[in-house]
Structure 1
Amino acid sequence: MEKVTQSYEVEVAPFQKKSDVTLGGILYIVYVAMIPEWRRRISKLFLIPQRYVLGIMGLLAVCNAYTMRVCLNLAVTQMVNNTKSELEKFDPDACPDESQILNGTVALKPHAIFDWSESTQGLILSGFYYGYAITHVPGGYLAEKYGGKWTLGIGLLSTAIFTLMTPVVVKAGGATWLFILRILQGMGEGPTMPALMIVLARWVPPHERSRQGAVVFGGAQIGNIFGSFMSGVLMAGGGDWANVFYFFGCFGILWFIFWSIFCYSTPNTHPFISDEELKYLNETVTSADMTSVRDPVPWKAIVRSVPVWALLFAAVGHDWGYYTMVTDLPKYMTDVLKFNIATTGTLTAIPYLAMWISAFFFGWVCDICVKRNWHSIRTGRIIHTTIAATGPAICIILASYAGCDRFAAVGYFIASMALMGGFYSGMKVNALDLAPNYAGSLTAMINGTSTISGIITPYLIGLLTPDSTLVQWRVAFWVCFAVLVGTNVIYCIWADGKQQWWDDVRQYGYPTGWKHGPLKMADSDTEKNKKKEAEGTAL
């Protein structure tokens, strides 16, 4: 690989040109001239490499995103007054109600002021994913063009603000306004995964990606744990559900402040990365330098790529199972197993803790096996994706047939999520294998399309469980089983672990039999582009 001369650039917000000959441009020149002096002092304050600092902040980003995503899942159980509907229906398989007091009356929910049906609740919970799907592809484009730092940061900041607004909005406009607000929250979080993929593709060497992927994307489980547990604590003993949204909205704003200060889109734009780490990353990471002229995203090759379609099917299956657990497990705990809200918050958090821990184990195993050539990257992705699909599929069925045996049911749910931890070292990082140069756009396409599971699942479960009985939930779990297993079979047959030809057509050329014309390339006057870019950097 061509040796990259070290230079330091200041990362600017989107749409700000560094080449403008203005007072700002002059100040920029002065700022760049000062960097070498203070950079060395600041870099000594960091005891760990900057790619690990980025990994920690990325973990907190995903954690923050998921706390704001899932806090409504538990809060809605205390927002809706379903006492009347519980008295009108009869379920012979109903479990004993832990929330009942000695005289047989049901404990009241002092802040349950809404009368929403199960299907309405399902529609509200699915609203987030409508917005989430809309901004995936635009988010990936913005991250590739302007860098992942601001694309990710501004998106999550907007979601934090919308989260703070939730109590006021729902009390003013009811279910309709809450549904619209959830769409806006989803739009803010849509760029999260594409932007993170772009950042990781430019910061993490290939042999570290399984572990870094497990750390960063394992933040989803930290978010689920923290979100579920704290929601239960804040609402225990009749606490106001509004406090949940105030707490996690403030948490999101605090994260944004630290992200803005400590993280940068690429190693070459980081003002206080060490010389050793910068050299190492430029030698080991294909896309560490963002300054080369980029070709347009080769969409016509991507949509004809069989490994991409295999990854897409696997993502749909995983999201179906995952969203079933994330969105509806609190309702199952409360409505079927009859746990009180504090117990539900704690028990809902435990499966995600198991998934988070197992993600590190699976990531470590996969990296070791690949590094020692015990199996290929493709084989590793298939093995771990299969564990993460078939294991949970079996466990949720066993949980439904455990009936009112709470210990067994919770145990199966914990095992289900623990096995799902293989997802992070399986198909989750597969986009980095297939297309390191277009990881953001590919992730946007995969995540955006697979989000259809998040749209369908809550609403479908609401339709399948109108009375929230054990038998009705069992049917919903069988549907989940079929989707998980079926999509995994497709992935096992057609998955791949190698960089695809269309990711770098200059290096790999066109495959034999390609009959769809040449891919659109960057401006042919390469030297002119490089010269103009060098002049912009000099300013």
Structure 2
Amino acid sequence: MADPQKPQPEWGIKLSKFFVLPQRWILAIMGFFAIFNAYTMRVCLSQAITVLVVKKNYTAAAQQNEAICDADEESSDSSSKGDSGGTYTWSEEKQGLILASFYIGYIVTHLPGGLLADKFGGKWILVIGIFLTAIFTLVTPVSIVYGGADALIVLRVLMGLGEGTTFPALSVLLAGWAPASERGMLGSLVLGGGQVGSIAGNILSGLILDSMDWMWVFYIFAFIAIFWCILFTLLCFSYPYTHPYIKPTEREFLAQEIPPQDKNKPKTPFKAIFTNIPMWALISAQIGHDWGFYIMVSYLPKYMHDILRFSIKSNGLYSSLPYVTMWIMSLLSGCVADQMIKHNCMSTTNTRKIMTAVAAFGPAIFMIGASYAGCNRALVVTLFTIAMGLMGTYYAGMKLTPLDMSPNYAGTLMAITNGIGSFTGVVSPYLVGVMTPNADLMEWRMVFWVAFGVLSVTAVIYCIWASGEIQPFNDGTNSNKKPAAAT
């Protein structure tokens, strides 16, 4: 790691004059696009799979089950490329396994990514992960055409391996660049890339599938991610004191607000972390959030297609609306949380708890409501939009808790919580496939009741035992006992 006391090069000071925005905001914007790219590459398959598989025989299904909606006007016109159906005879269970397979790899690289980012900085861990994901996305069409479902499952696992380092690396970058007074704003901006990526992934995938060959969905998003890798490598650095062309005033400000980490800091205190009660409360909230979120990310386009029978173009638009609201809410809640903490309206702990509670109980209720709205498309889309909008407050709640609890080991904490939570990314999409063999409304209603239970129970645990204060293990000791006060 670079010496924090090393003077800034003269050429860097001269170059810094060409940047209008502070470097911490440039980093946050580029971090936003890191997650943006990660999510576009992750979710585009959820749209593409609706045109890859053989089109469902809705007439036959309607004779057996009345919970089948009439097609909208556009989907009754088979002139668009995406609405004619595909050639792959993958069952609902097989599709669930394909969508879940990404998270098998995603889980594996979380902890190694967090440990490496804590030790060496987040820049290269983030770039390498996104680049590998882009390469695997680029070859997805080849794997589908020549290898079918099994090859696609293997490739999605490899994509997950690449993308698993994203959140741990960004947590380390935020810990090194975001002052406590701006943490909610900068953190929500970066983490909001997931919602905008889901928006773009759904809308653009729908437009591409409607007018071009399905393969271009993967090519376009992969090339955008590769371009980001080049730009990020040139513009961003792991820490303010390693950045050659940061303005001296910003460098001094951040040095006061965020003391440089000790390059000889102790080994990660895993014993203290895993015996810390607030840590398990955080893990609980992450499991609940991921259960609901991964169902929506993986299956909302299929729900719109199979139940509401939107055309592929309409599907892309209406599947994206919930994420627009979620992104706006994540930014607003980040600003509100910062002001609440800054003006001592509420403690950091209680602020995080309120935001997390809203983000759990709100979506749980409105997802259930959407399942009872039947074939009323406007009402269903509205309820899903409200549900995902309220989920946006998670990013000013439990998602920032690792930075609150331990700035020194934020990457490791994010890796542990996000990694454990990602097990639900394997379980929930596959379980949905098993629970919805006929892809009808009654089966989906049960899926949302299960999500209601998981979101509610995990949120209660977080609200009782979570903490937004720095934990004793932050100093590297394997003890959860706070040092005695000086007398």
Shift of 1:245: 0.3
Shift of 1:112: 1.1
The alignment status of 1:154 with 2:125, answered yes or no, reads no
Is the contact made by 2:75 and 2:83 (CA closer than 8 Å) also made in structure 1?
no
Q: Which residue of 1 aligns with 2:481?
A: 511
Q: Which residue of 2 aligns with 1:210?
A: 184
- Structure of greater Rg: 1
Is the contact made by 2:359 and 2:394 (CA closer than 8 Å) also made in structure 1?
yes
Alpha-carbon distance change, 320 to 47 in structure 1, aligned in 2, over 3 angstroms = same
Shift of 1:42: 1.2
Q: Which residue of 1 aligns with 2:244?
A: 271
Q: 2:47 aligns with which of 51, 54, 74?
A: 74
Q: Which residue of 1 aligns with 2:152?
A: 178
Once the two structures are superposed, residues 22-74 of structure 1 have per-residue CA deviations (whole angstroms, 9 ceiling, x without a partner) of: xxxxxxxxxxxxx31x2122101100110000000000001000000101011
Q: How does 1:514-529 map to 2 (within 5 A)?
A: none
Shift of 1:87: 3.3
Shift of 1:512: 7.2
AA matched with 2:351: G
Is the contact made by 1:204 and 1:212 (CA closer than 8 Å) also made in structure 2?
yes
* 5+ long unaligned stretches in structure 2: none
Shift of 1:291: 5.1
* 5+ long unaligned stretches in structure 1: 9-34, 515-539
AA matched with 1:75: A
Alpha-carbon distance change, 183 to 86 in structure 1, aligned in 2, over 3 angstroms = farther
**Alpha-carbon distance in 1 for matches of 2:428, 2:77:** 38
Q: Which residue of 1 aligns with 2:257?
A: 284
Alpha-carbon distance change, 430 to 331 in structure 1, aligned in 2, over 3 angstroms = same
Shift of 1:240: 1.7
Q: 1:399 aligns with which of 365, 370, 373?
A: 370
Q: Which residue of 1 aligns with 2:227?
A: 254
AA matched with 1:409: V
Q: 2:94 aligns with which of 120, 127, 142?
A: 120
Question: 2:139 aligns to what SS in structure 1?
Answer: helix
Once the two structures are superposed, residues 466-499 of structure 1 have per-residue CA deviations (whole angstroms, 9 ceiling, x without a partner) of: 0000000000000000000010000011000100
In percent, how many aligned pairs have the same letter? 44
Q: Which residue of 2 aligns with 1:18?
A: none
Question: 2:54 aligns to what SS in structure 1?
Answer: coil
AA matched with 1:166: T
Q: Which residue of 1 aligns with 2:67?
A: 93
Question: 1:115 aligns to what SS in structure 2?
Answer: coil
**Alpha-carbon distance in 2 for matches of 1:138, 1:97:** 47
Q: 1:309 aligns with which of 268, 277, 280?
A: 280
Q: Which residue of 1 aligns with 2:453?
A: 482
**Alpha-carbon distance in 2 for matches of 1:134, 1:101:** 40
The alignment status of 1:299 with 2:273, answered yes or no, reads no
AA matched with 1:216: V
Q: How does 1:409-420 map to 2 (within 5 A)?
A: 409-420=380-391
Alpha-carbon distance change, 100 to 226 in structure 1, aligned in 2, over 3 angstroms = closer
Q: 1:142 aligns with which of 101, 116, 139?
A: 116
AA matched with 2:420: T
Is the contact made by 1:99 and 1:106 (CA closer than 8 Å) also made in structure 2?
no
Alpha-carbon distance change, 84 to 403 in structure 1, aligned in 2, over 3 angstroms = closer
The alignment status of 1:443 with 2:414, answered yes or no, reads yes
Aligned length: 481
Shift of 1:107: 9.1
Alpha-carbon distance change, 102 to 68 in structure 1, aligned in 2, over 3 angstroms = closer
**Alpha-carbon distance in 2 for matches of 1:113, 1:291:** 57
The alignment status of 1:131 with 2:120, answered yes or no, reads no
**Alpha-carbon distance in 1 for matches of 2:407, 2:474:** 7
Question: 1:424 aligns to what SS in structure 2?
Answer: helix
**Alpha-carbon distance in 2 for matches of 1:50, 1:105:** 49
**Alpha-carbon distance in 2 for matches of 1:41, 1:371:** 34
Q: Which residue of 2 aligns with 1:386?
A: 357
**Alpha-carbon distance in 2 for matches of 1:106, 1:254:** 31
The alignment status of 1:496 with 2:470, answered yes or no, reads no
Q: Which residue of 1 aligns with 2:167?
A: 193
Alpha-carbon distance change, 51 to 107 in structure 1, aligned in 2, over 3 angstroms = closer
Alpha-carbon distance change, 71 to 512 in structure 1, aligned in 2, over 3 angstroms = closer
AA matched with 2:435: L
Q: Which residue of 1 aligns with 2:7?
A: 7
Shift of 1:91: 1.9
**Alpha-carbon distance in 2 for matches of 1:400, 1:425:** 28
Cα root mean square deviation, aligned: 2.2
Q: 2:195 aligns with which of 207, 214, 221?
A: 221
TM-score by length of 2: 0.95
Once the two structures are superposed, residues 63-116 of structure 1 have per-residue CA deviations (whole angstroms, 9 ceiling, x without a partner) of: 000000101011100110133576366321211012677799999855712110
Is the contact made by 1:436 and 1:503 (CA closer than 8 Å) also made in structure 2?
yes
Alpha-carbon distance change, 509 to 348 in structure 1, aligned in 2, over 3 angstroms = closer
**Alpha-carbon distance in 1 for matches of 2:124, 2:75:** 51
AA matched with 1:490: I
Shift of 1:249: 0.6
**Alpha-carbon distance in 2 for matches of 1:429, 1:58:** 15
Alpha-carbon distance change, 86 to 446 in structure 1, aligned in 2, over 3 angstroms = farther
Q: 1:59 aligns with which of 28, 32, 35?
A: 32
Alpha-carbon distance change, 141 to 401 in structure 1, aligned in 2, over 3 angstroms = same
**Alpha-carbon distance in 2 for matches of 1:102, 1:190:** 40
Alpha-carbon distance change, 291 to 173 in structure 1, aligned in 2, over 3 angstroms = same
The alignment status of 1:44 with 2:17, answered yes or no, reads yes
Alpha-carbon distance change, 106 to 58 in structure 1, aligned in 2, over 3 angstroms = closer
Q: Which residue of 2 aligns with 1:165?
A: 139
Is the contact made by 1:82 and 1:115 (CA closer than 8 Å) also made in structure 2?
no
Q: How does 1:25-44 map to 2 (within 5 A)?
A: 35-36=9-10, 38-44=11-17
